[in-house]
Amino acid sequence: MTTIGVEEEYLLIDPVTGLPVPQVEKVRMATEGACLVADQEVQSELLQAQVEVATPVCDTLEEVAGHLLRLRHAVGTAAEAHGCRIAACATAPQRHGRPVAVTDQARYRAVAAQAPQLVAEQLINGMHVHVAVPGREAGVQVLNRIRVWLPTLTAMSANSPLWDGHDTGFASWRTVIFSRWPVSGVPPHFQDEADYDRRVQRLLESGLISDTGQLYWQARLSERYPTIEVRCLDVQLRVDEAVMFAGLVRALVETALGEAAAGTPVPDCAPELLQAAMWHAARHGLSNTLIDPDGGRHRAGDVLCRLLQHVASSLEASGDSRQVTGLVHRLLQDGTGADRQRAALAEGGPGAAVSLIISECGTP
């Protein structure tokens, strides 16, 4: 069975106002003393009101769920001790009148100097799924095959409709904010590993990016681990929703590996169509239509059914079929995190939306 790992980013917010609270160092240090957290599992992020957690390498979705619950509990307890709460929402529901300070690390200071206004608006949180691949060449072939499904995953994970206390009209405003960096969006098609490395090297030599960490494609080869890293997902309100995406992404990667081994042709989708499909997914989530991998426009539910059919064999082989399929059906019935945030905002205003975000964070 292919191994997986998950990284989640959270906001630290005031439980009453919903405003970001720049307490990441105090929260991180408090978790270091907790017996439930291992070294490097909790890290600072770009802004001092953000914190990141990373699971160990996992074999099963049950392991993923257990580690995410453990890490959310540990960070949440540390945050409460310092007067704030963790929020697993992908944009800040409220913001300060002035920017949140950048975390005092050389790399983050350099990024802030490069793009001050972008950094000021980076109060956004993603979920990254790492799936092991047998090598970089295999990884490139996987990227070429899963890129057409990234808009669908983005729509399903939409959990960032709010910004500055109002509804943006987008289900995933995080996707729009993150798309403004020089190297972002759906990754291009690569001929092979050498092509991937050559194009990345040109970006580095040009000075347009300072390191490979600034390859903000929505899926990429990891430079730290022998994995594919899928980054298009908004962080999820609930742990079981995060687990669903871990299972789906693993199944997509395993399906792509099988297709590559069988010599199945790579899906052909024009880059401008993929870019527009991603924008459409960020705008509507699952409340409208989706663009499928062939470029056709269909009801969201039909595209999700096609996704499940596409990965059915891989889900069955890993023993994840019943769990993931059930969670996808629940998603279609109950809506995305963006839908739930909007419903809370409409019913009770910004305070109700903040209460929802805080209350769902520790839910299994």
Least confident interval from 107-121, 189-203, 273-287: 107-121
In a domain, 363, yes or no: no
**Per-residue pLDDT reduced to its tens digit, 209-222:** 999 999 999 999 99
Q: Give the model's confidence band at 96: pLDDT under 50 very low, under 70 low, under 90 confident, else very high.
A: confident
Tell whether the model's pLDDT for residue 36 goes beyond 90: no
In a domain, 360, yes or no: no
- Supply the pTM of this predicted model: 0.97
Q: Structure tokens of 190?
A: 């690569």
In a domain, 316, yes or no: yes
In a domain, 364, yes or no: no
Chain CA centroid to CA 17, Å: 25
Tell whether the model's pLDDT for residue 363 goes beyond 90: no
Report d(CA 179, CA 170) in Å as an integer: 14
In a domain, 345, yes or no: no
Domain containing 327 — which CATH number?
3.30.590.20
Mean pLDDT, residues 342-350 taken together: 95
Report d(CA 299, CA 320) in Å as an integer: 25
**Under 8 Å between Cβ of 79 and 12:** yes
Half-sphere exposure of 143 (CA within 13 A, CB side): 29
In a domain, 355, yes or no: no
Report d(CA 289, CA 152) in Å as an integer: 10
In a domain, 358, yes or no: no
**Per-residue pLDDT reduced to its tens digit, 187-202:** 999 999 999 999 999 9
Q: In this structure, what DSSP letter does residue 94 have?
A: S
When the pLDDT of each residue in the chain is averaged and rounded to a whole number, the result is 95
Token look-up 């092991």 returns 132
Burial degree of 33 (CB within 10 A; 0-12, 13-18, 19+): exposed
Q: Give the model's confidence band at 99: pLDDT under 50 very low, under 70 low, under 90 confident, else very high.
A: confident
Tell whether the model's pLDDT for residue 144 goes beyond 90: yes
Q: Which domain holds residue 169?
A: 4-336
Q: Structure tokens of 121?
A: 């608006």
In a domain, 342, yes or no: no
Domain count, the chain: 1
Mean pLDDT, residues 303-311 taken together: 98
